[in-house]
């Protein structure tokens, strides 16, 4: 992966990638794990690993230099952790979408990662072959959480909602019955395809509902919508 720079001191040019391949930066303190991802993802024609980093500090540097589409990053690393790096990367490269791929199943890490701007939180218990599909889904605008972590996220949201009970009540935007059904399933960690199957509608219709929900709530991501809905008691935690 070579880098080129202009002679007049301008910012270095980004590596060129054939077609519309998704450009991925892999961040993990275990070199063997990074190598494993490299080998597996090399077989995916629409995915290109454009850089690697061994900790959060290197991740911020590489992300600023390479402007990747996706940053696949561990949570706990030496020097600088993934959550802190996530915040810095989102500031430096707002277009980058960050997926946490970690062994940490702590509710606190999950919640802080989402607050920092991560669009995915996956445990390393998933098969390495599933990583490619996760990259594609997040690049397509979806938020992903390992199923075993979804209930923990809702529990954390419920705790926050209880803390806010004393806040003054303000009117909340009105969602349609169908939008509420979609939001409830999204809160359970279901992807658009699974929501579509549950409600017997097309995946495209689900995307339209999600877009309408975000516009009505004046939010930017599915995760923010779920956090808002729980805080405002729009959906129940089960």
Confidence grade of residue 95 (pLDDT, cut at 50, 70, 90): very high
- Do strands 70-73 and 47-53 pair parallel, antiparallel, or not at all (unpaired)? unpaired
**Range with the poorest average pLDDT among 100-104, 159-163, 167-171, 229-233:** 167-171
In the chain, the number of structural domains is 2
* Per-residue pLDDT, 153: 64
Residues 37 and 126 in one domain: yes
Residues 87 and 175 in one domain: no
Residue 13 in domain: no
Q: φ and ψ at 149, to 5 degrees?
A: -100, -15
Residues 36 and 103 in one domain: yes
Residues 170-199 have a mean pLDDT of 85
CA distance 32 to 42: 15
Residues 38 and 100 in one domain: yes
Confidence grade of residue 173 (pLDDT, cut at 50, 70, 90): confident
List pLDDT tens digits, range 47-86.
999 999 999 999 999 999 999 999 999 999 988 999 999 9
Residue 238 in domain: no
CA distance 15 to 218: 36
Residue entry with tokens 């935690």: 237
* Per-residue pLDDT, 158: 58
Confidence grade of residue 237 (pLDDT, cut at 50, 70, 90): low
Residue 1 in domain: no
Of 121, 145, 169, which residue is a domain's last?
Answer: 145
- On the question of pLDDT at 195 being above 70, the answer is yes
Tokens of 14: 């980004």
CA distance 78 to 11: 29
Residues 128 and 197 in one domain: no
Of 145, 165, 198, which residue is a domain's last?
Answer: 145
CA distance 104 to 125: 10
- On the question of pLDDT at 122 being above 70, the answer is yes
- On the question of pLDDT at 231 being above 50, the answer is yes
Half-sphere CA count of 161, side-chain side, radius 13 A: 18
Q: Which of 157, 196, 151 is nearest to 178 (CA)?
A: 196
Enumerate the H helices of 67-187 as residue ranges. 82-92, 107-116, 130-139, 147-163, 177-187
- On the question of pLDDT at 161 being above 60, the answer is no
Q: How far is CA 150 from the centre of its chain?
A: 13
Tokens of 82: 């993934």
Residues 133 and 158 in one domain: no
Residues 192 and 220 in one domain: yes
Of 92, 119, 145, which residue is a domain's last?
Answer: 145
Residues 112-136 have a mean pLDDT of 87
Residue 16 in domain: no
Tokens of 59: 């991740």
Residues 184 and 110 in one domain: no
Residues 65 and 138 in one domain: yes
- On the question of pLDDT at 125 being above 90, the answer is no
Residues 115 and 28 in one domain: yes
Indicate the Cα dihedral angle 45, 51, 56, 57, nearest 10°: -160
Q: Which of 150, 79, 81 is nearest to 120 (CA)?
A: 150
Length reported for the chain: 238
Residue 9 in domain: no
Sign of CA pseudo-dihedral 152, 139, 76, 123 = positive
Range of the domain at 45: 22-145
Q: What is the CATH number of the domain that holds 225?
A: 1.10.10.10
Residues 37 and 115 in one domain: yes
Residues 180 and 138 in one domain: no
- On the question of pLDDT at 2 being above 50, the answer is no
CB 16 within 8 A of CB 24: no
């Amino acid at each position: 992966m070579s880098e080129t720079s202009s002679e007049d001191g301008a910012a270095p040019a980004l590596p060129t990638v054939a077609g519309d391949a998704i450009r991925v930066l892999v961040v993990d303190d275990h070199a063997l794990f990074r190598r494993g991802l490299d080998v597996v993802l090399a077989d995916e024609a629409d995915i290109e690993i454009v850089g690697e980093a061994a900790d959060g500090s290197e991740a911020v540097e590489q992300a600023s230099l390479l402007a990747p589409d996706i940053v696949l990053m561990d949570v706990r690393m030496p020097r600088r952790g993934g959550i802190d790096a996530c915040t810095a990367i989102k500031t430096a490269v707002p277009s980058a979408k960050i997926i946490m791929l970690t062994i940490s199943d702590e509710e606190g890490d999950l919640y802080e990662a989402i607050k920092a701007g991560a669009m995915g939180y996956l445990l390393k218990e998933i098969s390495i072959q599933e990583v490619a599909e996760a990259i594609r889904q997040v690049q397509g605008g979806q938020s992903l959480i390992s199923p075993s972590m979804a209930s923990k996220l809702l529990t954390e949201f419920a705790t926050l909602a209880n803390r806010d009970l004393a806040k003054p009540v303000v009117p909340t935007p009105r969602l349609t019955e169908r939008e509420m059904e979609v939001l409830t399933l999204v809160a359970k960690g279901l992807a658009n395809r699974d929501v579509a199957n549950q409600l017997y509608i097309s995946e495209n219709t689900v995307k339209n509902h999600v877009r309408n929900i975000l516009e009505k709530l004046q939010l930017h991501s599915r995760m923010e919508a779920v956090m808002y809905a729980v805080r405002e008691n729009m959906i129940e935690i089960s």
